[in-house]
Amino acid sequence: MGLWRRRSREADVRTESREAAARVCGGRVPGAAVGARPAGIASVRAPACGAERRRHGASQRKGDLLSSPNRHGGGSAGFRSGGAARPGAGRRAPAGHKRKVYGQNFLHDRQAVADLVAFADPGPGDLVLEVGAGEGHITRALAAVCREVTAYEIDGRLARGLRRRLDGVPNVAVVQGDFLRADPPSEPFSVVANIPYGITSKIIRWCLEAAHFRAATLITQLEYARKRTGDYGRWSLVTVESWPEYEWRMGSRISRERFRPVPSVDSATMRLERRRRPLLPPDRIDDFRDLAALGFGGVGGSLHASLSREFPARRVAAALRAAGVPRDTVVAFVTPDQWIRIFRELW
């Protein structure tokens, strides 16, 4: 396993732990089998991901990023790897309990739904996947503007309700099951969704691993969106290492009062989009990620100190000057574009 992959997973675990403590409801519980697709809708399943890419070894599909042997959450606290998704065993769950287990906060504000779809800007020929379709407000809005919507809902009761409500909408397929266990489509696709906060990083990884992934427009916890898009003036490792191939953008803020039940934090829209032309040649991107992992791997020091562990201090100082980065700059305050300039100077 490469250094940058290991650091990425460790950073995701820390981020999700902090975000889980801030929200009212827990993450959804994976484990439900993916249901059959309605008649008349083409299959969107494709072969599973390949073996993990080596730094200087055999090539792997271009979309692979942050590969994880446990990406479906099996064995992690709060997530089951199999079995029934219904809470409890051998007894009826109390009313409202299932909603709490799955961590569903439904977006009821029509304007917020319209703003999300406008930010995603799907075309009439697009295939769009929705994670946690819930009551179908976003699903219906997407169906009106794109070719096909595959709506994933892990809660059996909600999935049945979705099928009833959208029975007359021919371009919607409701899939009862765990989105994280589904194989990506074998054609270009986008993801548009109001996602459970607790599995945000897992959903991002799933998208970045998919060969035909084009873009994800998501409603996330406000803090997560700000961190990933540099809105605080700080940048995360996940954003930096994916920057040559993907652009991260912050959208609009959404008040917690627009959700039911009301969460404890505000939300925001965030967009992750594959670049039409990568900022670095494909055969150099793994090396760039290794450099980013080295930089973020320091303990509370400057980027100069982190990189000087592997490169001559003079070369590091010259690279930082070329990128316009002061010598004592802390790693998180170096922009992704500055990282790319530093890489070109050092590698």
Q: Residues annotated as binding site for S-adenosyl-L-methionine?
A: 105, 107, 132, 153, 178, 194
Helix (H, G, I), strand (E, B) or coil at 77: coil
Q: Count Cβ atoms below 10 Å from residue 320 Cβ, excluding itself.
A: 24
Hunting for tokens 């009212």 — which residue is that? 24
Q: Which residues pair with 191 in a beta bridge?
A: 129, 216
Hunting for tokens 């400057």 — which residue is that? 302
The pairing of strands 172-176 and 148-153 is: parallel
Helix (H, G, I), strand (E, B) or coil at 217: strand
Q: Which residues are annotated as a binding site?
A: 105, 107, 132, 153, 178, 194
User: 179 exposed, middle or buried (CB, 10 Å; 0-12, 13-18, 19+)?
Assistant: buried
Question: 180 with 30: CB under 8 angstroms?
Answer: yes
Question: 333 with 234: CB under 8 angstroms?
Answer: yes
